[in-house]
Amino acid sequence: MAANNARHVRLRSAEDLADPRLTPYTTLTDAALRRRVDSEHGVFLAESSQVVRRALAAGHTPRSFLLGDRYRESFADVLAAHPQVPVFTGPDEVLTTLTGFHLHRGALAAMDRPAPRPVADVLAGARRVLVVEDMVDHTNLGAVVRTAVALGWDAMLLTPQAADPLYRRAIRVSMGTVFRLPWARLDGGVAASVPSLREAGFTVAALEVTDRALGLDSPELEPIRAADRLALVLGQEGPGVRPETLALTDADVVIPMPAGVDSLNVAAAAAVALWELRAR
Ligand SMILES: C[S@@+](CC[C@H](N)C(=O)[O-])C[C@H]1O[C@@H](n2cnc3c(N)ncnc32)[C@H](O)[C@@H]1O
């Protein structure tokens, strides 16, 4: 078995995988198990060399790197910049045994999970805030984050039930843009937060298909578009925005769907609406 304190360990066989420093890389394909490993070990995983580089550039602290043999050279600058951080390398088949999936993007890094941020902290100075209500799919969340950052939205709030923005797949789909978006968890549901958002000067709108919703192309939407501070609630994939939230919002906004389809995928809907409702 590999020495447990070596800085660079080449993993040759399944026996080498007993190194406890490799625990953050196990059970990657099981979201529920993963949640436990991430919270117990206080880590998140950055996947692909580009995402690892973006996490480092954003100031995150690496605990270890796991690289396919053939990526070691292209990652040499990163390894040199972090001389104390353990590096595990190995052939694809050994890494697949460890992680449970084919590590086709070359690099993984286990990083210290940052402390949760208070809501007030991420709202400070923000003019456009996404409120993610119970969205469970990490791919959707990653896509929404990428859109939000690309279109200049300032912050994101998530309900306790919503997916984890620092789950490996969410980070990867966001292309590492999640490291640029201030975000915080709400203590409870969106409805309970509406009064404090309003007190902070936010107009609160729901992106949802409802009878009273204003079309995204409607002139009546102008006050929402022009709001100095806007919080936009996105609903859960199946049920949509909760009725208790809709009962409190200042307006609902719908993307008209002339072909009679029920709804758009939430990430697609966000891409359309976040552009229209951006700060100007
Ligand atoms: C797939 S939808 C939820 C299901 C939807 N409530 C229905 O009855 O078909 C998930 C979320 O995407 C957003 N969404 C999807 N299509 C939309 C549209 N045409 N206009 C506004 N929001 C939309 C909303 O935020 C919604 O809560």
What is the CATH classification number for the domain harbouring 35?
3.30.1330.30
In a domain, 1, yes or no: no
Residue owning the nearest CA to atom 19 of ligand 1: 255
Q: Are residues 51 and 164 in the same domain?
A: no
Ligand 1 site, residue 263, Cβ cutoff 6 A = yes
Ligand 1 site, residue 209, Cβ cutoff 6 A = yes
Residue owning the nearest CA to atom 22 of ligand 1: 208
Ligand 1 site, residue 135, Cβ cutoff 6 A = no
- 170 versus 35: which is more confidently predicted? 170
Q: How remote is the CA of residue 227 from the centroid of ligand 1, in Å?
A: 22
Sheet strand arrangement including 214-215: 183-185, 155-158, 128-132, 230-234, 203-207, 251-254, 214-215
Q: How remote is the CA of residue 207 from the centroid of ligand 1, in Å?
A: 7
Ligand 1 site, residue 257, Cβ cutoff 6 A = yes
* 219-274 residue pLDDT tens: 999 999 999 999 999 999 999 999 999 999 999 999 999 998 999 999 999 999 99
> Hey, what amino acid is at 23?
T
Q: How remote is the CA of residue 132 from the centroid of ligand 1, in Å?
A: 12
* Confidence band, pLDDT 50/70/90 cuts, at residue 2: very low
As a whole number, mean pLDDT of residues 140-148 equals 98
Domain residue limits at 91:
8-112
Check: pTM over 0.85? Answer yes or no.
yes
Q: Are residues 101 and 58 in the same domain?
A: yes
Ligand 1 site, residue 262, Cβ cutoff 6 A = yes
Which of 85, 112, 139 is the endpoint of a domain?
112
The 8-class DSSP code of residue 39 comes to H
Q: Are residues 103 and 126 in the same domain?
A: no
Q: Are residues 71 and 133 in the same domain?
A: no
Ligand 1, atom nearest to 257 Cα? 19
pLDDT at position 1, please?
A: 46
In the chain, the number of structural domains is 2
Residue owning the nearest CA to atom 3 of ligand 1: 240
pLDDT at position 162, please?
A: 97
* 201-229 residue pLDDT tens: 999 999 999 999 999 999 999 999 999 99
What is the spatial distance between Cα 74 and Cα 139, in angstroms, rounded to a whole number? 28
